[in-house]
């Protein structure tokens, strides 16, 4: 009988952020495929787990995934882990997952830490709709092209970036998306965890050095001027219906109407309860 492929999330800093199920899975599988075996060995030592490791990183994904799939078909249970967080999220994994599906192998997620989810929930920006971009291209032209595509997006935008490129990426975002409100989620779950909030320009001016690991969360763009004009041309009842059709609840609708009309939300609230 074929084995299973377990996708096991590991900590993104604080070693306590690992579930009991993840620990048990790592103990029970036959083999752990790890992005960096030395890095994962540290975690396993901390958890007092002795297990055979095989390296599985981006550059070897194609070949290694074939080898691992073969082993699973022959009955081995394999756990895939990355250096930090959830495998296959801006980390190796896609290749073996596709092949596992092609070969009818059970894929079992073992949930846990993921940097962007934790950055997003602390951002204070809309979590209803968001776009996870991950790493922008290293190629300057492609990077700018992607940012141009996102320019008018009103969903919250989420980027990963490596520590030494954080400043230049913020400058690129500033240049193309404008002086948006952002949150830099720094060193999540670690001793120096910090949320740096503000407009890009202020942060760039204030923060001399941006050290550590960061998730960049960018607030979506404000509504386009034409849309604002249109909404302001409606009666308050029509404006209300407009958002009702978008399945928003009363509280959210009042908040949005107040924002669109630059009014205090209590004023809008009063209008509707007096109706
Ligand atoms: N698979 C991981 C996950 O589930 O979040 C992401 C791995 S990706 C290669 C690494 C990037 O994630 C970093 O460059 C940074 O943008 C972000 N990241 C990872 N750990 C972080 C942390 N503790 N604090 C802030 N950002 C982090």
Cα–Cα distance, 104 to 64 (Å, whole number): 18
Which of ligand 1's atoms lies nearest the C-alpha of 190?
Answer: 23
Mind listing the domains of the chain with CATH numbers? 4-112 (3.40.1010.10), 116-218 (3.30.950.10), 225-273 (no CATH)
H or E element that contains 236: helix 236-244
Give the CB-side neighbour count of residue 190, counting CA atoms within 13 A: 14
Cα–Cα distance, 182 to 128 (Å, whole number): 17
Ligand 1 neighbour 36 (Cβ under 6 A): no
Provide CB contacts within 8 A for 16, sequence distance 6+: none
CA of 214 to the centre of ligand 1 (A): 7
Q: Comparing C-alpha atoms, which of 207, 211, 189, 209 is closest to residue 197?
A: 207
Cα–Cα distance, 157 to 267 (Å, whole number): 31
CA of 165 to the centre of ligand 1 (A): 14
Cα–Cα distance, 214 to 198 (Å, whole number): 15
Residue 49 pLDDT greater than 70, yes or no:
yes
Work out the average pLDDT over 65-75: 98
Residue with tokens 């609840």: 249
pLDDT digits (tens, 9 = 90+) for 91-128: 999 999 999 999 999 999 999 999 999 999 999 999 99
pLDDT digits (tens, 9 = 90+) for 141-197: 999 999 999 999 999 999 999 999 999 999 999 999 999 999 999 999 999 999 999
Which residue owns the Cα nearest ligand 1 atom 2? Answer: 85
Ligand 1: which of 192, 213, 216 to mutate, judged by most atoms within 8 Å of the beta carbon?
213
Ligand 1: which of 57, 82, 84, 123 to mutate, judged by most atoms within 8 Å of the beta carbon?
84
Q: What is the pLDDT of residue 225?
A: 66
Q: Residue 48: which pLDDT band, with cuts at 50, 70 and 90?
A: very high
Cα–Cα distance, 9 to 61 (Å, whole number): 18
What is the token pair recorded at 167? Answer: 């400043």
pLDDT digits (tens, 9 = 90+) for 212-260: 999 999 999 976 666 778 898 899 999 999 989 888 889 889 998 998 8
Residue 268 pLDDT greater than 80, yes or no:
yes
Q: What is the pLDDT of residue 229?
A: 80
Q: Comparing C-alpha atoms, which of 181, 183, 245 is closest to residue 217?
A: 183
Q: Residue 137: which pLDDT band, with cuts at 50, 70 and 90?
A: very high
Name the more confident of 8 and 249: 8
Q: Residue 274: which pLDDT band, with cuts at 50, 70 and 90?
A: confident
Which residue owns the Cα nearest ligand 1 atom 19? Answer: 115
Tell me what the pLDDT averaged over the chain comes to: 95
Burial of 52 by CB count in 10 Å (0-12 exposed, 13-18 middle, 19+ buried)?
exposed
Ligand 1: which of 14, 80, 85 to mutate, judged by most atoms within 8 Å of the beta carbon?
85
């Amino acid at each position: 009988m074929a084995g299973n492929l377990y996708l096991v999330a590991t900590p993104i800093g604080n070693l306590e952020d690992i579930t009991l199920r993840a620990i048990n899975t790592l103990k029970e599988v036959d083999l752990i495929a790890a992005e960096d075996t030395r890095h994962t060995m540290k975690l396993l030592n901390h958890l007092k787990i002795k297990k055979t490791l095989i390296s599985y990183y981006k550059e070897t994904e194609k070949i290694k995934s074939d080898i691992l799939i073969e082993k699973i078909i022959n009955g081995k249970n394999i756990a895939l882990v990355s250096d930090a967080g959830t495998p296959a999220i801006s980390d190796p994994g896609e290749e073996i997952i596709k092949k596992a599906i092609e070969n009818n192998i059970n894929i079992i997620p073992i949930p846990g830490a993921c940097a962007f989810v934790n950055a997003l929930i602390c951002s204070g920006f809309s979590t209803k709709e968001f776009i996870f971009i991950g790493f922008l291209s290293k190629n300057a032209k492609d990077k700018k092209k992607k940012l141009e595509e996102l320019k008018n997006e009103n969903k919250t935008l989420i980027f990963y970036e490596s520590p030494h490129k954080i400043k230049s990426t913020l400058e690129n975002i500033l240049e193309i998306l404008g002086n948006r409100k952002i949150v830099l989620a720094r060193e999540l779950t670690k001793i120096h965890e910090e949320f740096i909030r503000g407009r890009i320009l202020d942060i760039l001016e204030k923060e001399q050095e941006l050290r550590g690991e960061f998730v960049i969360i960018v607030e979506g763009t404000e509504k386009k001027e034409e849309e604002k004009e249109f909404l302001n041309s409606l009666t308050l009842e029509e404006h209300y219906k407009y958002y009702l059709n978008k399945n928003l609840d009363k509280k959210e609708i009042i908040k949005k109407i107040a924002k669109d009309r630059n009014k205090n939300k209590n004023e809008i609230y009063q209008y509707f309860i007096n109706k």
